[in-house]
Amino acid sequence: MLIYRIKQLLLVLGDFVSFCIAFLLSLSLRYLELPNWYQIELHLGLFLIVYGLWIIINYINGLYDLDRLTNDRAFYRRFSETAIVSLIVSITFFYLFPDKKIAPKTILLANIILGYSISVIWRLFFRKLLGAEALKNNVIFVGFTTETKELIEILEREPEKGYKIKALIDPTRTEKPNNYKFDVYYNLNTIRPAITNHKAQSVIIAPHLHQDSDALRELYELLFWDVQLTDLTSFYEQITGRIPPTTFSEGWFLQNLRDTKHPIYDRFRTVIDYLAGIILGALLILFLPIVGLAIKINSPGPIFYKQTRIGQFGKIFWIYKFRSMHVLSKDGSAEVGDYEFDKWVAKKKDSRITAVGGILRKTRIDEWPQVINLLKRDLTLIGPRPERPEIVDDLKNEMPYYPLRHVVKPGLTGWALIHQ
């Protein structure tokens, strides 16, 4: 996990350097000459704050997930969307905190274009760097499970993750050796020779071997070797961002969720939430007249719509949205007793959705009023999306551990949403 975080930090530092290079190039374009120290000092303070905001936006949009360093259409689409959001946030920032000595808007557009263009080049180079054999972590899997098979497929498909599978030691003889490109052994005595022969840095241990006395004796000897021992569950979570379903039990949740209070982290998150709330609130105020007028012209009814949601520790609160549907009932909602609809989600061609509402939903502008919930502390910036009480009741019947999502505060945007 430490290696993964170091790689992420390198990615962040590369972005910061990219933005600084773009800053100098933008000043050169602005003054049609190499900038002097006075010009740099005049602009640098505000732009350093802006670059900090850009990095936060990049993080929220998943640009620091090593899994997403792919040279495909989704990669460039996500990058373009992030650059547009960064531009809007930057304009709002300079509007809220103007400096009479400079006119940053004249170099902001150039800075965004150059900064994110250089950042793309940096990421493509970084991806090549991660894929280099010399920088890969040689891995040996000990024990075979469904999760082992999934990890093998992921690591072979995505070499940019920085791992090279060298061998599988399968004492239960689950797999045949010619299924994979690496060596497969069936005897636990081969662990140490395999580490030496393949120059392995990491050994990933399947959980069922923790109950095997012969396996434990062999694995105990590795404590005196220069090799990292990692349990399969932790490695699976690191690579996929998910916890293996086979791990779930009441005991596991008690052990891992008993300490949910982190005072320093919680205070820092609160500060970030308020800063994001102020910036997004300013955007909401700027666009409110346009969006509100469009909603009113398109269909009769209120501009805003509120609905109950379940928050942290089961607290019920009102969530706010721009209205995107026709009003069909007295409470201002689009739901009536004899109307057949899917209560889980509005259908793609739902007749209740207005023309303007369709645009608001596609662009997610209808969610903007939830900044009110962010400032009220009903929501945090990133967390599980809150659901309606009736949907939660249904999900609890289908997924026994579903209520555990209410241990943490729900988010303005969901982890799955920013990583889709």
Q: How does residue 339 score in pLDDT terms, banded at 50, 70 and 90?
A: very low
Where a domain ends, among 131, 166, 188?
131
Whether residue 254 lies inside any domain: the answer is no
Q: How does residue 413 score in pLDDT terms, banded at 50, 70 and 90?
A: confident
Whether residue 250 lies inside any domain: the answer is no
Whether residue 253 lies inside any domain: the answer is no
User: How high does pLDDT run on average in the chain?
Assistant: 83
**Least confident interval from 51-55, 219-223, 241-245, 362-366:** 241-245
Helix (H, G, I), strand (E, B) or coil at 347: coil
DSSP notation for 274-321: HHHHHHHHHHHHHHHHHHHHHHHHHSSS-SEEEEEEE-GGG-EEEEEE
The encoded tokens of residue 298 equal 């398109």
Q: Are residues 313 and 411 in the same domain?
A: yes
- 416 or 311: which carries more pLDDT confidence? 311
Helix (H, G, I), strand (E, B) or coil at 174: coil
**What pLDDT digit, counting tens, does each position of 13-32 carry?**
999 999 999 988 988 888 78
Where a domain ends, among 245, 278, 313?
245
Whether residue 252 lies inside any domain: the answer is no
Residue 193: per-residue pLDDT:
92
Q: How does residue 337 score in pLDDT terms, banded at 50, 70 and 90?
A: very low
Q: Are residues 36 and 166 in the same domain?
A: no
Q: Are strands 304-310 and 316-322 parallel, antiparallel or unpaired?
A: antiparallel
| Domain span holding position 69 | 2-131
Where a domain ends, among 76, 99, 131?
131
Whether residue 251 lies inside any domain: the answer is no
Q: Are residues 87 and 106 in the same domain?
A: yes
**Least confident interval from 102-111, 228-237, 315-324:** 102-111
Averaged pLDDT, 386-413: 88
Phi-psi region of 408 (alpha: psi -120 to 50; beta: other; left: phi over 0): beta
- Cα distance between residue 46 and residue 394, in whole Å: 50
Q: Does residue 371 surpass a pLDDT of 50? A: yes
pTM value is 0.56
Q: Are residues 329 and 377 in the same domain?
A: yes
Residue 2: per-residue pLDDT:
58
Question: Residue 193: CB partners within 8 Å, gap ≥ 6?
Answer: none
Q: Are residues 296 and 414 in the same domain?
A: yes
- Cα distance between residue 130 and residue 199, in whole Å: 18
Q: How does residue 401 score in pLDDT terms, banded at 50, 70 and 90?
A: confident
**CB neighbour burial string for 203-227, b if at least 16 within 10 angstroms, e if fewer:** bbbbeebeebeebeebbeebeeeeb
Q: Does residue 338 surpass a pLDDT of 60? A: no
The encoded tokens of residue 188 equal 């636990």
Averaged pLDDT, 102-121: 84
Whether residue 223 lies inside any domain: the answer is yes
Whether residue 256 lies inside any domain: the answer is no
Burial group, residue 273, by CB count within 10 angstroms (0-12, 13-18, 19+): buried
Q: Are residues 230 and 360 in the same domain?
A: no
The number of domains in the chain is 3
Residue 288: per-residue pLDDT:
92
Percent of the chain with pLDDT over 70: 84
- 135 or 314: which carries more pLDDT confidence? 314
- Cα distance between residue 108 and residue 23, in whole Å: 9
- 278 or 420: which carries more pLDDT confidence? 278
Whether residue 257 lies inside any domain: the answer is no
Averaged pLDDT, 34-63: 84
CATH number for the domain including 178? 3.40.50.720
Residue 151: per-residue pLDDT:
92
Q: Are residues 61 and 143 in the same domain?
A: no
Q: Are residues 92 and 170 in the same domain?
A: no
Q: Are residues 221 and 283 in the same domain?
A: no
Q: Are residues 218 and 271 in the same domain?
A: no
**What pLDDT digit, counting tens, does each position of 276-335 carry?**
888 888 888 988 999 999 999 998 989 998 999 999 999 999 999 999 988 765 555 555
Residue type (1 letter), 376: K
Q: Are residues 122 and 53 in the same domain?
A: yes
Q: Which range in 4-8, 67-71, 171-175, 216-220 is most confidently predicted, on average pLDDT?
A: 216-220
Residue 374: per-residue pLDDT:
94
Q: Are residues 10 and 27 in the same domain?
A: yes
